[in-house]
Amino acid sequence: MQSKIKLTGKEALQRLLDGNKRFISGKLEHPNHCEESRRGLVNGQDPIAVILTCADSRVPPVDVFDQGLGDVFVVRVAGNIINDQILGSIEYAVAHLHTPLVMVMGHSSCGAVSAVAQGVKLSGHIASLTPSIDAALKRTKGLAGDWTDNAAKALAVSTAQKIAESEPIVSDLVEEGRVLVVATYYDLETGEVTLLS
């Protein structure tokens, strides 16, 4: 089981990016997947990062960053948007578990972004995803490159900014230097995660 020395946000980010390099190269270590790790987590958790990402089944953060049980506090929702419940989950991790890093990870070929871009009529609660995605699409219309991928990146950046500025809990911890909030982008084809902010 990996030692749980308290990391800074930058150190946690580097650990995740190093894990992503292993994932890309196929040299996975699969840390903290043993019985000892599982038993060690029965009475508590000490994740190095909160990762807010899309619910898309092709975007599994634990695998993408070659992490294990108890390493990352994952919050997933289509389009990696933010609402009160998701923000509450993030606040719990940073305030009560003292997690030093919050990462918002958008990804290529996002079905939620594509649907809104194509004007698909979303019904039921699915429609609640639309406003944030639509705003990102408007900000990126006409930019060079793939429109939906550009919008997915813009959405990750704006969501990260909303989290970092969220009062009172997260913004205070960010201001004190105890929490780092970053936006990233996962390319489904290459497996690479790049830093956006």
What is the reported pTM? 0.92
Residue 108 lies in a domain: yes
- Total domains, the chain: 1
Average pLDDT value for residue range 69-96? 95
Q: What is the residue whose two structure tokens read 């975007």?
A: 59
Residue 154 lies in a domain: yes
User: What does the DSSP 8-state code read for residue 19?
Assistant: H
Q: 108: alpha, beta or left, given left = phi > 0 and alpha = psi -120 to 50?
A: beta
Residue 3 lies in a domain: no
Residue 4 lies in a domain: no
Q: For the chain, what is the mean pLDDT? A: 93
- For 107-148, how does the pLDDT look when each residue is reduced to its tens digit (9 = 90+)? 999 999 999 999 998 899 999 999 999 999 999 999 999 999
Residue 67 lies in a domain: yes
- Provide the CATH number for the domain around residue 85: 3.40.1050.10
Residue 1 lies in a domain: no
Quote the distance between the C-alpha of residue 182 and its chain's center.
Answer: 9
